[in-house]
Every structure is written in C-alpha cells, then in structure tokens.
Structure 1
C-alpha cells in the first residue's frame, strides 16, 4: 500500500508540473496573441492614417485647382478694374487741369500725388514683368521636354522604318512564293494536257477494241486499258492534291497581303504622329519667340513711362500671349482624344495576329503525304516564312504594347513632376515677392536685375523715375557703380564714401538721409504755404 501511495504521489506531482508547464505555455501563447493583436491594430491604425492623409492630399489638390481658377478670375477682374481706373483717371485729369491752371500752389501737391501714383503703376508694371519672365522660364522648360519627346518619337520612327525594310525583304520572299505558285499552275496545266492525252488514248482503245474483237490479243489490250485507267486515276488524284496546295498557297498569299496593308497603315499613322509633333514644336517655338520679344522690349526700356498708351500696349501683349497659350492647349487636347480613340484599332490588330498564328494547322496535314516530295519541301519553306512573319508581327505587337505602357508611365511621371514644379514655383514667387517687399520697406531701395550681373536701384524718396543707380557685379565678386546722369549729380557722396572708403552701405545710407531731408523740407514748405494762404 505504501508503494502504491508513493507512486500515486509522484504521479500527482508529475501531473501538477505538466499542468504548470501547460499554463505557462498558455500564458506565453496568450501574450504572443496579444502582441500580434496590438501590432495588427497598430498597422490598421497606420493604414487608416495613410488613407486619411491620401484623401486629404486629394482634397488639397482639388482645392489648389479651385484656388488657381479663382486667382485667374481675380487677376482678370483686377485688369478690368485697372482699365476702369484708367478711364476714370483720364476724366478726372481733364476736369482738374483747368482748376490747376488757376492755382499754382495746389498744382505742386497734385504733382506729388501724381508722382506717387506713377510709382505705384511702375511697381505694378515691374511685377507683371517678373511674372512674364517666370512664365517664360516655365515655357522654355516645357519646350525642352517636348523636344526630348520629339527626339524619342523620331528614334521610334527610325526603328519602325528598319522593321519596314525587313518586311519589304519578307515581301520579296512572298514574290518567290508567287513564282512557285506559277510553277504549280504550269504543272497543273501539264497534268490537264496529260489527262487530255489519256482521254484520247482511251478513245483509241475503244476503237481498237471494236476492230480487234476477232484477234487473239484482246486480253493483252484489256490489261493495257486497265493499266491506263489506273494511271489516269493516279494523275487525277495528283491533280486534286496540287489544286488543294494551290488554294492553300493562295490563302497564305492573301493573308500576307493583309499583313502588308496593316503595316502600311501603321507607317501612315507614324507619319501623322511625326507631323503632329513637328507642328507642336513650331507652335512652342512661336510662343518662345513672342516671349523673347516681350523680354527684349522690357530690356530696351531703361525708364518705364507711366503713360496710358504704354499700359494699353502691355495689356494687349498680355491678352495676345493668353490667346496663344489657349491655341496651344487645343491641339494637345485633340491629340490626346485621338490617341484614346485609336485603342480599339490596336486591339483589332492583336486579334488579327492571333488569327495568323492559328492558320498553321492547315500545313500539318500536308506533311503526311510521302509521295510528293517536292510539294512537301515547298510547304516546309512556306511554313518557315510564315513563322518568321508571325514572330516579327508578334514582336512588333509586344513592343508596341510595351511602348504604350511606357508612354503612359512617362505621362503619369510628367504630371506628378509638373504638379511639384508648379507648387515649387508658386512658393518661390510668394517668398521672393515677400522678400523684395521687405527689402523695399526696410531699406527704401527697390533692386531690379536688368541684364547679366547688372542691377538697378531706385529709391522710395526719389524725385523722379529717372533717378536710378546702376551697379555691376564683377567676376572677382566686387561691385562697381556705373556712370549715368543721376550718379554725376551725386559726385560728392561718391567721392566721400566710395572712392575714399570703398563703402557702398555708407553711400546708400547717406543718400537715403539726403533724400529724406529734401522730402521733409518740401513737405514743411508746402504746409507753411498752406498756413499762409
């Protein structure tokens, strides 16, 4: 009994240890499951965040497009408002001119207001000029991209021309097939002639049978007749087989002619695409030349006249450039719609190629005929030629599909890059405009880049628009003041600060103080005169 109790005791201990190990294993598995659940939940949350971010980006892109349209409408409204303001200003100027002639003191005040208005107009014109320059840079980049596309299309055209040459060589092989077909036709004629001869021989045998009924050689003649009938049946079967082979060759020749027609249509489509690309390049070149003319006009104008006629000319130039841009967009959209409409034609060409592949089953039956070795050899040659043509057509179809997929991918990449470029250009325009305004407000100088390494400085307190300074950046990094009428007036300041101490900041600050004192002196005099009146 004691032994049994000890054995049961140890069994209980083992079972308890097994239970403990199983519980620990269960806990471990539960922790693993919990971790997997947590990781799965995290992944799900991350994926949902990514989906939300993508949806938000799509919304942002839509809002940007709507904002861009609103900005265009706002700019058009601003142009209309400027035109209305110009018309109203002309009317006011005509009415106020008589009033100015009577009172000379008030004319000075009005001249100052007109100068400030002219400065504002010049600022607006300069901002329009900068916008034109930025748009020109964008158009030049577009022209470069289109030129690369045009070069790629030309390369593809050369590849297709090489393939066409190979197809012309295949057509020469088809001419050899035609010669073989003519030979078969001639053989058919010879067989028909032999049939006629055998029919005439049969008639002669009938005559001989009537004449030689009484002769002892009747059995030999019968045997000869049977042999001739056997030969006649053999030649008939041979004639039927040759006619079948001729029909097969005709069918293959017709299929080859269809393939040649499809290839000719492809060549015409490529030529049309080439013409379209050349037209697009010409349009972009014209647009580039128009923008260059506008830039040359801006560069030739050292001083911008704030007259109404000049504003009208600039507004007309802007409207003409907008019209040219719209005329460029229309052929591009039409080209895209035509490419979309050409997709069913491409599918039809693929189906035709598959039908050509299925036409090989007719040739397998001709191989089993061992009696006509020459015909079998000719069929083998025809089969090889057809396989070569089919492989070339299939390779062309695959290459065309690959090129279409590559073109779609490139278009998607171009659209993404265009969106990024537009976003960067907008940010750059905004920051550069803010920076220029901050510099103008803080320092009182507006800096404009005229030519390469030449900069123009105009002051906020300048007495006239012609009072500008021109600086040149030399190759060694130093600045050089160029001589003009306004710099000659400032000879004392130039000698004191630039020639003596080589300090441009001190010169510019001294000029600012001088102009500020003059401006305040004029204002004080005007207020004094008003008090006297």
Structure 2
C-alpha cells in the first residue's frame, strides 16, 4: 500500500528526532575528542618543560664538575648521589609522560578512525552511531524525495480537478485569506466580476462587493427565499452565458 502524506510526514518526524539525538551524542564525542587533544597538548608542554629542566640541570652539573676540577677539589663518590638520583627521577618522569602521550595519541587516532575497542563505553556507543547516522540520512533523503513527488502529484491532480470543475460548472473556486473567491468562465471582466464568501460558524456567507450588488434579484430569489448557493451560482453562470452569447 503506498504511503500517505501523513505517513511520510510522521516518518520524517521520527527520523528527524532520531537524527537530533544522534547529533547530540556526536556532540558529546566531539567534546571528548577536544578534551583528549587538550590533555595531549598539556602533556606535550609538560614534556618540553621537563626536557628543558633536564638540560638546565645537566648543564649545571657540568659546570659544577668543571668548577671542582679547576679548584682541584677531591671528588667523593657516593653510593646514593643526590644529583644522580634527581636526574634518574627526572628521566623516569620523562619516560612516563612520553608513554602517556603515546597512549593519548593512539586513543585519538582510534577515535578519529572510528575503530573503537576499549576506550570508554560512551566513546564505543558514539562511534557505533556513525553508520546509523548515515543510514538515517539516506532514509530521510528517500522520504523527502517521496514526499516531494507526492506533493507534486497532488498539485497536478488539484490543477486538473480545478480545470475539470471550471469546464463542467463554468466557475472557478479559489481560497483567499479569510474565505473563498468564485470567478466565472463567461464573466465579461474576470478581474472584477467575482463573488467573495467567508465561512462563519460553519455557515457560508456572501460578502458584498460591486459585482454582488448588481445581482440583488438573484440574491433575493435564490439565497433569501430558498437559501440555495448551488442554484444561486448556477443561475449567475447561466445569466453570464446568455449575456456573453446573446442568448435569450
């Protein structure tokens, strides 16, 4: 059974709602990526700072050694040299930061590639939505295409119906901002020889204009006496036909 316009509209609403949820979840993923990138930059900066401190300390050690040699100081070797211990601790911290930086870089690459293993549950769920987003986009495009074709077909049928109605009845009915406009095939002036109606409390009412003023006899006979709009419109159509073709 072909889908109706309401079915298509409902489906579009559902797809749009789902797409909105997925976009929100993707936004969370983007925030997570930004946070990881910031952590990565912070670790890089800290790593550079540690490297600079290490170089400064090595330079200071060299200067101290040179000074001791110049002053002919006797060097005493300690089993637990404080300078060596500090340098070793700095190297261990440097290696730790470097390993953490590699881990973050790997996590970012995995997230960007969409190949999530065991990063976090949220990241895993977000990445799984990427294919769902594409599927929904395609489904939405198909629905919009079907809806567009349906609307065009409806417009075509409405146009054909109006043309058939004009040919069969000799009048044309159109919507206005507050009611209806009826024009006539055999009217002498199509722009001014027309009737205006409005719906008031589920009752159709004829609005006064120059053309309706010229039809007081028809108004009294068919609307006042018999309350028949079909007879009123038919009588006017016949009147205009006779007037147009000089028929008695």
Is 2:197–2:204's contact at 8 Å kept on the other side of the alignment? yes
Match of 2:150 in 1: 424
SS of 2:226 mapped into structure 1: coil
* Residue 192 (1) aligns with residue 62 (2): yes
How far apart, CA to CA, are the structure 2 residues paired with 1:514 and 1:379?
A: 102
Match of 1:502 in 2: 227
* Residue 487 (1) aligns with residue 203 (2): no
Match of 2:53 in 1: 183
SS of 1:192 mapped into structure 2: helix
* Matched residue count: 213
| TM-score relative to the length of structure 2 | 0.66
SS of 2:189 mapped into structure 1: coil
Matches within 5 A, 1:199-210: 199-200=69-70
How far apart, CA to CA, are the structure 2 residues paired with 1:155 and 1:481?
A: 57
How far apart, CA to CA, are the structure 1 residues paired with 2:66 and 2:240?
A: 124
Distance 1:412 1:473, change over 3 A: same
Distance 1:401 1:157, change over 3 A: closer
2:110 to 380, 391, 394: 394
How far apart, CA to CA, are the structure 2 residues paired with 1:190 and 1:384?
A: 28
| TM-score relative to the length of structure 1 | 0.34
1:493 CA displacement: 1.1
Larger Rg: 1
SS of 1:458 mapped into structure 2: strand
How far apart, CA to CA, are the structure 1 residues paired with 2:239 and 2:232?
A: 11
1:383 to 99, 110, 121: 99
Matches within 5 A, 1:71-470: 160=30, 163-164=33-34, 167-168=37-38, 170-197=40-67, 199-200=69-70, 372-373=88-89, 375-398=91-114, 405=131, 408-451=134-177, 453-465=178-190, 466-470=192-196
**Gap runs ≥5 in structure 2:** 1-18, 115-122
**Gap runs ≥5 in structure 1:** 1-148, 206-223, 243-371, 525-533
How far apart, CA to CA, are the structure 1 residues paired with 2:213 and 2:32?
A: 70
Distance 1:166 1:407, change over 3 A: same
The Cα offsets for residues 164-216 of structure 1, whole Å up to 9 and x where unpaired, read as 46634543443333332222112211332344256558xx69xxxxxxxxxxx
How far apart, CA to CA, are the structure 1 residues paired with 2:156 and 2:45?
A: 70
The Cα offsets for residues 215-270 of structure 1, whole Å up to 9 and x where unpaired, read as xxxxxxxxx9xx97xx59xx9xx7xxx6xxxxxxxxxxxxxxxxxxxxxxxxxxxx
How far apart, CA to CA, are the structure 2 residues paired with 1:373 and 1:460?
A: 100
**Segments of 4+ in structure 1 off by > 6 A?**
152-159, 399-404
Which of the pair is proportionally richer in strand? 2
SS of 1:473 mapped into structure 2: strand
- Larger deviation: 439-448 or 383-392? 383-392
Distance 1:156 1:165, change over 3 A: same
Distance 1:481 1:160, change over 3 A: same
The Cα offsets for residues 143-173 of structure 1, whole Å up to 9 and x where unpaired, read as xxxxxx9xx9899679746754663454344
SS of 1:462 mapped into structure 2: coil
Distance 1:470 1:501, change over 3 A: same
Which of the pair is proportionally richer in helix? 1
RMSD of aligned alpha carbons = 4.0
* Residue 514 (1) aligns with residue 230 (2): no
